[in-house]
């Protein structure tokens, strides 16, 4: 299925995938689906941006995706996050988004976070930060992140948070990434 030709938000969730592949976007349809999901979440659902959420960071960021799988084959982008280096050995994760129909399935968000930090860690990251919307702070704290500061970003309260790298082993092969299921990480 080509994500740029089908409005996946309009489709009913007729099945629950048994697994999700969380990896770096390596195919054009994966990147297209990630950008479409970001627009759906940040422009339409949350109204943070008008039209598109892309910025200069997209030119050099690593785009990570969560793909629902049917019969073991990737089918649809259901989650995404991007990571990029902002300074010497300092990395930033941003634009974490999970499709509304999949937010309670298989730890998609936490697995995207795990791959984001693990990938940066493998690339020499000493500090991994994210600007986290206030309602998502408890999830990040459960995943061994701490609040560095509070700020207003895009008119919404956020916390700058830092990952404890001791809890995120380096992931040297983000193109393969991880598989997660409704039962948890496999």
Residue 1 lies in a domain: no
Residue 59 pLDDT: 95
Q: Which residues contact 50 (CB under 8 A, 6 or more apart)?
A: 43
Q: pLDDT tier at 3 (50, 70, 90 boundaries)?
A: very low
Q: Which residues contact 24 (CB under 8 A, 6 or more apart)?
A: 62, 63, 64, 65, 115, 119, 174, 175, 177
Residue range 142-170: mean pLDDT, rounded? 96
Q: Quick check: 186 pLDDT over 80?
A: no
Residue 180 pLDDT: 84
Query: Rounded distance, CA 175 to CA 179, Å?
Result: 12
β-sheet bridge partners, residue 98: 79
pLDDT tens, residue by residue, 62-120: 999 999 998 888 999 999 999 999 999 999 999 999 999 998 876 999 999 999 999 99
Residue 45 lies in a domain: yes
Residue 7 lies in a domain: no
Query: Rounded distance, CA 62 to CA 72, Å?
Result: 24
Average pLDDT, the chain: 90
Structural domain for 121, as ranges = 18-185
Residue 170 lies in a domain: yes
Residue 183 pLDDT: 56
- SS3 of 185, please? strand
Percent of the chain surpassing pLDDT 70: 88
Residue 2 lies in a domain: no
Closest CA to 115 of 133, 96, 132, 101: 96
Identify the CATH number of the domain in which residue 68 sits: 3.40.630.30
Q: Quick check: 136 pLDDT over 90?
A: yes
Residue 52 lies in a domain: yes
Residue 4 lies in a domain: no
Based on the structure, what is the number of domains in the chain?
1
Residue 13 lies in a domain: no
């Amino acid at each position: 299925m080509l994500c740029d030709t089908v409005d996946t938000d309009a489709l009913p969730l007729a099945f629950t995938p048994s697994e999700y592949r969380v990896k770096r976007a390596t195919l054009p349809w994966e990147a297209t689906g990630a950008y479409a999901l970001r627009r759906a979440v940040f422009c339409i659902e949350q109204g943070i941006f008008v039209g598109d959420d892309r910025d200069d960071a997209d030119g050099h960021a690593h785009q990570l995706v969560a793909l629902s799988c049917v019969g073991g084959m990737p089918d649809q982008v259901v989650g995404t996050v991007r990571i990029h280096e902002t300074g010497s050995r300092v990395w930033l994760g941003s634009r974490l988004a999970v499709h509304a129909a999949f937010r309670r399935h298989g730890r998609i968000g936490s697995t995207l976070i795990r791959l984001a930090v693990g990938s940066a860690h493998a690339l020499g990251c000493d500090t991994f930060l994210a600007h986290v919307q206030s309602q998502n702070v408890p999830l990040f704290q459960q995943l061994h992140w701490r609040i560095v500061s509070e700020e207003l970003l895009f008119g919404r309260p956020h916390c700058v948070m830092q990952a404890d790298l001791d809890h995120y082993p380096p992931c040297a092969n983000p193109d393969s990434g991880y598989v997660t299921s409704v039962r948890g990480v496999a």
